[in-house]
Chains A and B, each alone.
Chain A
Amino acid sequence: QVQLQESGPGLVKPSEILALICTVSGGSIDSDYWSWIRQPPGKGLEWIASISYTGIPNHNPSLKSRVSIAVDRMKKQFFLYLTSVTAADTAVYYCARKFDIWGRGTLVTVPS
């Protein structure tokens, strides 16, 4: 059964780059599309970006200028990069296969 695990720093300084990794286990990354979603504390879900297994990305227009997404099929990992972070980027970040299988999420805090 496919499982996803997010990893990355729990604390990022303002104006720096947030980099997260999603590692896929128990299945192949050579199909479907892979997504990042976030949830600020006490708030709803926000789609950030998705990438096909062939590496074609799509981004939320509200974040597009700051977001990059990439995939490494050999390592069975995909990545999220968010530049120029502010306190508003504090959230639990989830990775997902399409939107059916989700990781447990990782909290990223950007102090104000």
Chain B
Amino acid sequence: QAVVSQEASLTVSPGGTVTLTCESSTGAVTGGHYPYWFQQQPGHAPRALIYDISNRHSWTPARFSGSLLGGKAVLTLSGALPEDEADYYCLLSYSAGQFVFGGGTKVTVL
């Protein structure tokens, strides 16, 4: 089974920009992995932010954007707010209907 890797933790200043990455042990992340991104606040269920690389849900703030870069899926947070402090998870889709979550990145806004 594939392993999906993310940074363990990142810190961003209020108003700053932070980039989270999502890497697959099987090789480059492509559109065929349909990368998803989720935000999870302490004590709450995850909330979907991005699907299919770069598509925002209707509830996703515009300061969150997704892309592919250098063989990885990337989530960029531009103009960080205190309420963006949370855990962020990526999810990749593999053949035969399999899904694998990354280990999550703890983002601190400080």
Contact = CB atoms under 8 A, between A and B. Distances in A.
Interface of A: 35, 37, 44-47, 50, 58, 60-62, 94, 99-105
Contact of B51 (A61, A62, A99): A99
B46 A102 contact: yes
Contacts of B51: 99-100
B98 A94 contact: no
Nearest to B59: A100
Main secondary structure of the interface of B (DSSP, over half): strand
Interface in B4-53: 36, 38, 40, 45-48, 51
A58 B45 contact: no
Given A102-B48, A105-B45, A47 B1 contact: no
B48 A44 contact: no
A45 B46 contact: yes
Contacts of A47: 91, 98-101
Given A58-B96, A62-B1, A99-B91, A45 B48 contact: no
6 contacts: A35-B99, A44-B103, A45-B40, A47-B101, A100-B57, A104-B45
Interface of B: 1, 36, 38, 40, 45-48, 51, 57, 89, 91, 96-104
Given A44-B103, A99-B36, A58 B48 contact: no
A47 B102 CA distance: 10
B99 A50 contact: yes
Contacts of B103: 44
Contacts of B89: 44-45
Nearest to A92: B45
A35 B46 CA distance: 13
B98 A60 contact: yes
B1 A61 contact: yes
Nearest to A101: B48
B101 A58 contact: no
